[in-house]
Amino acid sequence: MTGRNEGIMSKDMQKTEEKTNRRMPTFTESVIPIIAMMVILTVGKGYLGYATEPLLLLVAAIAGLIAYRVGVTWDEMMDEICQKIAKGMPAILILTCVGALVGTWMASGTIPMMIYYGVQIVNPTFMLVTAFLITAVVSIVTGTSWGSVATMGVALMGIASTLGVNLAATAGAVIAGSYFGDKISPLSDTTNLAPVAAGSTLYEHIAHMFWTTVPATIISLVVYAFVGLKGNIGGDVSSEAVSTMLTQLDGMYNFNILLILPVLLILAGSIFKKPTLPVMMASTVLAGAEALIFQNINLKNLLLATVKGFKISMLTTPGFDPATAAPQIIKLLNRGGMAEIMGTTLLVFCAFCFAGIMSKAGCLEVVLQKILTFAKSTGDLIASTVASCITMGLCTGNSYLSILIPGEMFRDAYKARGLAAKNLSRTLEDAGTVFVPLVPWSAAGAYMTACTGIETLDYAPWAILCYTGFIIALFYGYTGIGIAKLEDEKK
């Protein structure tokens, strides 16, 4: 026993000695991995079209060299990476469940039915406006951008595809609309988290959000309407082609009002704040039951649809021959399945490797502290907050960290300058919550790509609300418009 105790004491002393030898990185050391990430991903992914995952691992290796240089051991790096992955596991499980959900919704006819009737209602000219408004309403009611995209967003993408509307533009409008609700819905987790991090209150924060969210929404709708009226988003599919696709959809499925129940179950679960995974699984099971009952799909094919994705060859509707299906129909419906999400999961794991090492080495803390020293005015302070949130978003790919860490760092600075806490909470959402889905290696960016089928960098320019919010926040900071004083908040 004595030898064992001595061994334990020796390990504890070794860990203490390792911590003693560790130092904080210099500013130069801290920014090297960030600059490397931006250059490698911009050139490798954006210009050369290389896969993102190995590029992220290369950047993580550079961060690892810096971490080792300042005294962080390999075991400590691995522990931090594992902690990041553990915290991100709920999002990864949701991603996997989305694959099964989409597969069964395709098999049951839920999504095809929404496409079938949506195509007959939606005007291609106003497709982007419609996509933004529908997902905005759903996200306000449910408080979740992810749920809004996974339900109505998927259907809207199908409608756009049928009508020949630009899919990247539609995905951008869908994602921007879904994050409208994520910013101002009292049911949203980030809307609740931002005032907590800043020291404000929920409804003060929501009211203050309108200063930036309303102008960003107006700009988005004006652009969407303008490009639609100018005919710059496609929508040039002939009426004959649309009629043919509708006829085929009608012949493939037995549509009825009960097929909307899986969607209503998701919406009800979000409204009543039920746990996401059980609700999604329940909706998947319900859709699967409807596929067995109404679409005559056998159990073996249904299980394949949940794992490997739905294929129209699984349908056995009398009078329908899968060989006669139009290529557009095959591309539209053959999707979903948990296996389709595995590539996204790998991307998230690679991103966590970089985020964990950067966090353990203290690089993020050093960069944020340096940014804070340049804040000489209210505009500079808000600009520093925006830069910090974006930096956190790029480095961690996590909406929560993009809110919590800058919130903790800038909270006292806003108070010292006599600014109300709701200014900080608003900026955290403008530059944190809604910016993260524009980061290709973030969980949100990967999720949106998985749901819409559009690469992050392709839909990003069209997700106008996701970047105009912090631009408006910067304008307010330097002009003083919409800036609440601490004295007013106390009154």
Write out pLDDT tens, residues 472-491.
999 999 998 988 888 765 54
Lowest average pLDDT, out of 63-67, 337-341, 424-428, goes to 337-341
Higher-pLDDT residue of 16 and 206 is 206
Q: Take residue 424 and report the two structure tokens written for it.
A: 């900080």
Residue 84: its pLDDT value, please?
79
3-class secondary-structure state, position 484: coil
The answer, yes or no, to whether residue 428 has pLDDT greater than 50, is yes
Residue 154: its pLDDT value, please?
81
Buried b (16+ CB within 10 A) or exposed e, 204-218: bbbebbebbbebbbe
Q: What CA–CA distance (Å, rounded) separates 392 from 71?
A: 23
Task: Scan for tokens 């004083």, then name that residue.
Answer: 485
Higher-pLDDT residue of 151 and 403 is 403
Residue 397: its pLDDT value, please?
75
Task: Give how many domains the chain has, as a whole number.
Answer: 1
Residue 336: its pLDDT value, please?
80
Residue 238: its pLDDT value, please?
53
Lowest average pLDDT, out of 15-24, 196-205, 207-216, 254-263, goes to 15-24
- Asked whether residue 144 is domain-assigned, the answer is yes
The answer, yes or no, to whether residue 5 has pLDDT greater than 60, is no
Q: Take residue 41 and report the two structure tokens written for it.
A: 């991903």
- Asked whether residue 328 is domain-assigned, the answer is yes
Higher-pLDDT residue of 52 and 235 is 52
- Asked whether residue 471 is domain-assigned, the answer is no
Q: What CA–CA distance (Å, rounded) separates 169 from 395?
A: 26
- Asked whether residue 477 is domain-assigned, the answer is no
Residue 9: its pLDDT value, please?
46
Long-range (24+ apart) CB contacts under 8 A made by 46-52 are: 46/457, 52/347, 52/350, 52/440, 52/441
- Asked whether residue 470 is domain-assigned, the answer is no
**Averaged pLDDT for residues 410-439:** 88
Measured in degrees and rounded to the nearest 5, phi and psi for residue 165 equal -80, 145
Residue type, 119: V
3-class secondary-structure state, position 234: strand
Total Cβ atoms within 10 A of residue 229: 11
Lowest average pLDDT, out of 189-198, 219-228, 257-266, 444-453, goes to 189-198
Residue 142: its pLDDT value, please?
64
Taking only the tens place, the pLDDT of each residue in 196-212 is 778 888 778 888 989 99
Q: Take residue 171 and report the two structure tokens written for it.
A: 């995905």
Residue 306: its pLDDT value, please?
92
Residue 471, judged by CB atoms within 10 A of its CB (0-12, 13-18, 19+), counts as middle
- Asked whether residue 127 is domain-assigned, the answer is yes
Q: For residue 17, what pLDDT band results from cuts at 50, 70 and 90? A: very low
- Asked whether residue 139 is domain-assigned, the answer is yes
Residue 13: its pLDDT value, please?
46
Looking at the chain, the number of H-run helices and the number of E-run strands are: 25, 0
Task: Scan for tokens 């924060």, then name that residue.
Answer: 205
**Averaged pLDDT for residues 301-306:** 93
Taking only the tens place, the pLDDT of each residue in 304-342 is 999 998 998 898 888 888 888 877 778 778 878 888 777
Residue 122: its pLDDT value, please?
76
Composition of the chain by helix, strand, coil, percent to 5: 80, 0, 20
Percent of the chain with pLDDT over 70: 90
Q: For residue 187, what pLDDT band results from cuts at 50, 70 and 90? A: low
Lowest average pLDDT, out of 13-22, 68-77, 169-178, 304-313, goes to 13-22
**How far does CA 423 lie from the centroid of its chain?**
24
Percent of the chain with pLDDT over 90: 27
Higher-pLDDT residue of 128 and 91 is 128
Q: What CA–CA distance (Å, rounded) separates 296 from 437?
A: 38
The answer, yes or no, to whether residue 235 has pLDDT greater than 70, is no
**Averaged pLDDT for residues 49-64:** 86
- The mean predicted confidence, pLDDT, of the chain is 83
**Residue range of the domain that includes 183:** 88-341
Residues 52, 55, 60, 63, CA torsion sign: negative
Task: Give the range with max mean pLDDT: 151-160, 218-227, 348-357.
Answer: 218-227
Measured in degrees and rounded to the nearest 5, phi and psi for residue 298 equal -80, 165
